[in-house]
Amino acid sequence: MSSEVRGPSKTKIPTIKITTPQAEDGMNSKVAPERQTAAAAVGAVQPAKARKRVVVAMTGATGAILGIRLLEKLRRLDVETHLVMSKWAEATIAFETDYKIRDVRALASKVYSARDVAAPISSGSFKVDAMMVVPCSMKTLSSIATGYGDDLISRAADVTLKERRRLILMARETPLSGIHLENMMKVTQNGAIIFPPVPAFYIRPKTVDDIIDQSVGRLLDLMNIDTADFERWDGMRKFGAREG
Ligand SMILES: Cc1cc2nc3c(=O)[nH]c(=O)nc-3n(C[C@H](O)[C@H](O)[C@H](O)COP(=O)(O)O)c2cc1C
């Protein structure tokens, strides 16, 4: 949505269009008229809505392919990605997939070492839309829950929480101990979203790829990004439920 704004009539300032991100989101389309005319008077024009920018962290839980698929989809959707992989993420990529580490790195816009706590994503002043840890080990979950930012992944997650930005953890372990559950509760109470990679069998997946696409697609729903490449629930009939 955009709003037409005119400058005060005596100063002959031409009509300009101010488009605010809020207005585009439909969250707050009302910009005070006095602010619009003040902006027009100094020739200020709001920048076009920026490309989405996301931090993707991969850790050493099983399911490395989920993080890889996420990077592939974000690349296809033209989202700027800032990637950090832990040492054990690299080990699980090598163990569980045919991808070379350099090929995974090449999917991201920027890549940082997990040891580099001086990287831009270590500061709240570096603006990002969200951070996703996919997959997220219980060890990284616990460091986020306790605010123990000794590597770039836990530090960037800590920053995401303190800046009240979206933090999504694809936490993976089974079964779960009380410690895991307490940590999940703690990060949830502080604004994070725990999103375990749990398959939806109502789509009747035929391949592992179907399960991965559905999990990653639903994850990106949390950022209002539609991958448009997986089945959504649309009532019983569509999914072939037998009538009794
Ligand atoms: C093949 C493999 C699979 C693993 N799967 C899990 C898992 O599903 N969940 C988990 O919490 N840890 C898992 N681990 C253990 C973590 O890699 C280990 O706790 C590590 O210290 C996590 O460090 P990071 O969070 O810095 O990557 C796995 C390790 C290996 C080698």
Helix/strand/coil for 148? coil
- Please tell me whether 178 is known to bind a ligand: no
Structure tokens at 65: 């392919």
The secondary structure of residue 160, as a DSSP letter, is: H
Let me know: does 169 contact 136? Beta carbons within 8 Å.
yes
Res 39: pLDDT: 55
- 200-203-204-208 Cα dihedral, nearest 10 degrees: -60
The secondary structure of residue 97, as a DSSP letter, is: -
* 69 contacts: CB under 8 Å, gap ≥ 6: 212, 213, 216
Res 73: pLDDT: 97
C-alpha 62 – ligand 1 centre gap (Å)? 7
C-alpha 137 – ligand 1 centre gap (Å)? 5
- Please tell me whether 148 is known to bind a ligand: no
Which atom of ligand 1 has the smallest separation from the CA of 91? 31
Res 111: pLDDT: 98
Per-residue pLDDT of the chain (244 residues; tens, 9 = 90+): 333 333 333 434 343 343 333 333 333 334 455 555 555 566 666 666 689 999 999 999 999 999 999 999 999 999 999 999 999 999 999 999 999 999 999 999 999 999 999 999 999 999 999 999 999 999 999 999 999 999 999 999 999 999 999 999 999 999 999 999 999 999 999 999 999 999 999 999 999 999 999 999 999 999 999 999 998 988 876 655 555 4
- Please tell me whether 138 is known to bind a ligand: yes
CA distances, 76 to each of 7, 59, 105 (Å): 41, 23, 15
State residue 105 phi and psi, 5-degree precision: -60, -40
Res 25: pLDDT: 38
Domains of the chain: 3-41 (no CATH), 53-221 (3.40.50.1950)
Res 43: pLDDT: 65
Nearest CA owner, ligand 1 atom 17: 60
Res 47: pLDDT: 62
Let me know: does 39 contact 18? Beta carbons within 8 Å.
yes
The pick from 58, 62, 136, 173 for probing ligand 1's pocket by mutation, whose C-beta has the most ligand atoms within 8 angstroms, reads: 62
The pick from 139, 140, 154 for probing ligand 1's pocket by mutation, whose C-beta has the most ligand atoms within 8 angstroms, reads: 139
